[in-house]
Amino acid sequence: MKITDVKYKSYRWPIAKPIRNGKHVYPEAGLNIIQIDTDENISGIGLIGGVHNSEEMFAAITSHFKETLMGQNPFNTERIFHDLWQPKIIGRRGMTTRVISGIDIALWDIKGKYTNLPLYKLIGGQFNKKIPVYIAGGYYEKGKGLKELADEMSNNISSGVTAVKMKIGGASISEDVERVKTARASIGPSIKLLVDANCAYSRYEAIDISRKIEDYNIFWFEEPLSPDDYEGYKKLSQATAIPIATGENEYTKYGFRDLIKNSCASILQPDALTMGGISEFLKVAYLAQAENLPISPHGNQDVHIHLISSISNGLLLEYYNGSTDPMWLDMFEEPLKIQDGHVIAPERPGLGINLNHSAISKYQTN
């Protein structure tokens, strides 16, 4: 089997009411796709972690990599990753590694389709059949006060999930403490409450708010600091009783090696769409196993369900239910559905992802 073509496709659609986290505003959402074709009429789909206004850059990087990929056997994922990831000129971090991630995911999709196996069976088998999820939400929005936040949190647990996440870091510490208090009251004492600052705080601010919200039984405090502040993460972990979670902005096994070595977090959050693909994600999961650290992937549930299902140290799966993105549950033909607070990996070959062209074609940008 040989690779015969590599294509990049992007889709963008507006959000009716822009959402905001601790640092960024999102007026639109979208999808970045790598499609790899082969001479045996099997095509793989890979997803790239999105960056706003990144389409031209992603297309150029894909074009650059195409020459290296053409004619290669898609089963040679280790060889291909080695050929693409050349730190002197590309790779290590940023957009080039995000594109490599999409390429690697597409290659694993081809492997699954060729062997007629769902991805989780191909990479490790089913360690856990039912994966608990948390609903990601709690963004800042214009006109959204405490009542609206409480209603959202209450609605998010109506599907039977036992964990929800909300944003902090985009308001004053006193305001965010009130928001956390409101969220806890709305979901009750038994639901896990996760807070995510998206790198919004300095060290002293993170320590300050962590101490002020400890009484609300916070399950984890996600990305409080800049991703490169390893020493700060270590000091914060020692200063608060709340477990620290981070990793969505970390890249490759080397970055996660440094997070682990510096005792930065109790929970690691690799994102296969960003940090190097499925190949690198699995290496990080095994590094974490050796240190008894749990993995809770950041981002797309349809890819990560396979990965978290096949490892022994999976914790929770992040799940977007469409409340913040009108197309989230419509862009694929058979999206993951929550059943009793859990999801189950699909049995379709490869990733089991089929684009819902009738829903997204009008939003294609290239």
Do 259 and 333 lie in a common domain? Answer: yes
Do 10 and 101 lie in a common domain? Answer: yes
Residue 6, phi then psi, degrees to nearest 5: -135, 125
Do 252 and 129 lie in a common domain? Answer: yes
159 domain residue, yes or no: yes
Pull the structure tokens for residue 138: 């709690």
Do 152 and 12 lie in a common domain? Answer: no
Do 134 and 188 lie in a common domain? Answer: yes
Which one-letter amino acid corresponds to residue 159? S
What's 62's domain CATH number?
3.30.390.10
Computed over every residue of the chain, the mean pLDDT equals 96
- DSSP labels, 79-96: HHHHHH--TTTS-SSSHH
Do 182 and 248 lie in a common domain? Answer: yes
Do 221 and 333 lie in a common domain? Answer: yes
pTM: 0.97
Pull the structure tokens for residue 284: 């990080």
Pull the structure tokens for residue 231: 């020493």
At 276-324, the pLDDT tens digits run 999 999 999 999 999 999 999 999 999 999 999 999 999 999 999 887 8
Do 301 and 157 lie in a common domain? Answer: yes
Range of the domain at 90: 3-116
Residue 245, phi then psi, degrees to nearest 5: -125, 140
pLDDT at 89: 85
At 216-240, the pLDDT tens digits run 999 999 999 999 999 999 999 999 9
Last residue within a domain, chosen from 51, 84, 116: 116
Do 125 and 266 lie in a common domain? Answer: yes
For residues 358 and 141, give the distance between their C-alpha atoms in angstroms, rounded to a whole number: 29
For residues 326 and 58, give the distance between their C-alpha atoms in angstroms, rounded to a whole number: 24
Do 109 and 143 lie in a common domain? Answer: no
Q: Which residues contact 133 (CB under 8 A, 6 or more apart)?
A: 161, 163, 301, 316, 317, 318, 319, 338, 341, 342, 343
Last residue within a domain, chosen from 116, 135, 158: 116
Closest CA to 353 of 108, 5, 7: 108
29 has which bridge partners?
A: 13
Domain count of the fold of the chain = 2
What's 317's domain CATH number?
3.20.20.120
Do 78 and 93 lie in a common domain? Answer: yes
178 domain residue, yes or no: yes
pLDDT at 214: 97
